[in-house]
Amino acid sequence: MRKIFHIETPDEHIKPLIIDKIDNLTKPKGSLGALEEIALQVALIQQTLEPELRHPQNILFAGDHGILEEGVSPTPREVTWQQVLHYTRGGAGVNVFCDQHSFGLKVVDAGVDFDFTGHPEVIDMKVRRGTRNFLHEPAMTEEDMELCLDRGAQIVRQCINEGSNVLSFGEMGAGNTSVASVWMHLFTGIPLEKCVGAGSGLNQTGVKHKLEVLQQAVDHFCKENDVTQKQHIIAYFGGYELVMAIGAMLQAAESHIIILVDGFLMTACMLAASQLYPEVTRYAIFGHCGDESGHRLMLDALHAKPLLSLGMRLGEGTGAIVAYPIVQSALCMLNGMESFKKTAVTKYF
């Protein structure tokens, strides 16, 4: 049974009041640039002139990929489960930035090829111990995809029950940039060679091989399948961790939660989510433009304005978390600055 999300475009009746408040703060109109745009977006999402951020959390989904068998990544398969355990102990990049910015962290096993019994810090949402190799067959079944969407949504509902109204999402899965590259190509029409990059560190020869493998997989898919069926594309190439992230994003949007979008992988998930429910992007704030080939092009396709450009490509949600203080600053501006009406300052432009 297909999971249905009910995602609404934020009601814009309040928009003139928010704009009036922003324009009448003690500053020249538009002088705080992107902060004003963020404040407007968050106020619209929350339908208030005094928006707030509560209990931010980063949900990190992990899964393994059958396509890794084709040498599309230099990262060994076992690194996925090793990193998952690393996250639970602290000391990884995502742990450091979550601690710095007071984020909660949830680590979810969506489909890792490892038994995490005895590690209660890892949330068990495992569908299967890794996807199938999409060079030869669909990575997952339609039923797997629906299960992933539902389980991603479950985690978000748990965060909401804990008081969160702003969430970021991250991933871990050796080989998962191959999924993102194919989704990007099929959903935007951008040539595949512009969508494929080094991932976790391929050299030029490795990138060429990766492109050849992915082109072969795409050619086979397009010959045998209807490329207008967006859900089928998501399932055929998807990773369990990535499709759970899609479900999480859709649930967040349905619940009017602010979504902080991380790098290449999570932007690809937002792109895929928008193919199912275009309104989801209204709830998304894009944290940064990363260093992975194709990320800028994918952001452009989404008409997205990333907050940072720091050459990051770690994933895990780190770029979104690092960008979070900018969102905080936008709300401090809106809620803390005085208006010309309340001060003795003559309005200036």
Annotated catalytic residue within 146, 241, 316, 338: 316
Dihedral sign (CA 149, 305, 275, 271): negative
HEC letters along the chain: CCCCCCCCCCCCCCHHHHHHHHHCECCCCCCCHHHHHHHHHHHHHHCCCCCCCCCCEEEEEEECCHHHHHCCCCCCCHHHHHHHHHHHHCCCHHHHHHHHCCCEEEEEEEECCCCCCCCCCEEECCCCCCCCCCCCCCCCCHHHHHHHHHHHHHHHHHHHHCCCCEEEEEEECCCHHHHHHHHHHHHHCCCHHHHCCCCCCCCHHHHHHHHHHHHHHHHHHHHHCCCCCHHHHHHHHCCHHHHHHHHHHHHHHHCCCEEEECCHHHHHHHHHHHHHCHHHHHHEEECECCCCCCHHHHHHHCCCCCCECCCCCCCCCHHHHHHHHHHHHHHHHHHHCCEHHHCCCCCCC
pLDDT tens-digit profile of 142-160?
999 999 999 999 999 999 9
Query: So what's the pLDDT on residue 285?
Result: 98
Stated pTM of the model: 0.97
Residue matched to tokens 């990363």: 290
Query: So what's the pLDDT on residue 240?
Result: 98
Query: So what's the pLDDT on residue 1?
Result: 61
Query: So what's the pLDDT on residue 3?
Result: 82
Q: Which residues of the chain, if any, have pLDDT below 50?
A: none
78 catalytic? Reply is no
Query: So what's the pLDDT on residue 347?
Result: 84
Query: So what's the pLDDT on residue 172?
Result: 97
Query: So what's the pLDDT on residue 343?
Result: 86
Geometric angle at alpha carbon 296, from 236 and 276, rounded to 5°: 35
Can you list the domains of the chain with their CATH numbers? 57-326 (3.40.50.10210)
Query: So what's the pLDDT on residue 173?
Result: 97
Query: So what's the pLDDT on residue 341?
Result: 86
Query: So what's the pLDDT on residue 2?
Result: 77
Query: So what's the pLDDT on residue 90?
Result: 96
pLDDT tens-digit profile of 173-194?
999 999 999 999 999 999 999 9
